[in-house]
């Protein structure tokens, strides 16, 4: 998979399973994507809904989608980046497109649920949540 935004990393993830169930590995301290641990949280997106748009000043996102199917759109808003204003759209899901996506600070992103049910995003950030650190934009500011 080609990265079209500088410093965004997309890594194939794997599902290991047998008749008893599955193990989905997301990230470890040995992963090249791992920088530091801030917190892990789960974000549920209701059927047919959009959660957008957000940009972090200093927090890095490491996310995957273990349940459902989403469209992730990223826009490089860093004026000093080689890929400034580039836009990338990815479809993420457990079956067929199970990836870890590392989103650096300064990249605007949003999610759209493409599933018939709720979708779940897992996010492992490098610093704990700080409501003053992120910038939220109205959903109509950008298109999916």
Tell me the pTM: 0.93
Measured at the CA of 113, the angle between CA 15 and CA 68, to 5 degrees, comes to 25
Cβ pair 124, 66 in contact under 8 A = no
Lowest-pLDDT choice from 29-33, 47-51, 129-133: 29-33
Dihedral sign (CA 3, 6, 8, 9): positive
Long-range interactions of 85-93: CB distance < 8 A, separation 24+ = 86/4, 86/5, 87/4, 88/3, 88/4, 88/5, 88/8, 89/144, 90/10, 92/64, 92/65, 93/65, 93/68, 93/69
User: What CATH number is given for 9-141 in this structure?
Assistant: 2.60.120.10
| Mean model confidence pLDDT for the chain | 94
Q: Give the model's pLDDT for residue 96.
A: 87
Calculate what percentage of the chain has a pLDDT beyond 70: 98
Nearest Cα residue to 109 out of 81, 131, 142 = 142
92-102: pLDDT as tens digits: 999 989 999 99
Which string of b and e fits 9-41 if b means at least 16 CB within 10 Å? bbbebeeeeeeeeeeeebbeeebebbeeebeee
């Amino acid at each position: 998979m080609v990265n079209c935004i500088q410093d965004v990393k997309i890594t194939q993830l794997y599902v290991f399973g047998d008749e008893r169930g599955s193990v989905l590995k997301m990230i470890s301290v040995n992963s090249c994507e791992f920088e530091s641990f801030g917190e892990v949280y789960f974000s549920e997106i209701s059927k047919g809904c959009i959660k957008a748009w957000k940009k972090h000043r200093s927090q890095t996102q490491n996310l995957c989608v273990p349940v459902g199917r989403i469209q992730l759109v990223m826009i490089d808003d860093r004026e000093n980046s080689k890929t400034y204003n580039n836009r990338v759209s990815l479809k993420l899901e457990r079956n067929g497109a199970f990836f870890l996506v590392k989103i650096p600070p300064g990249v605007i992103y949003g999610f759209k649920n493409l599933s018939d049910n709720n979708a779940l995003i897992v996010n492992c950030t490098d610093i704990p949540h700080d409501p003053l650190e992120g910038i939220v934009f109205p959903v109509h500011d950008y298109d999916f």
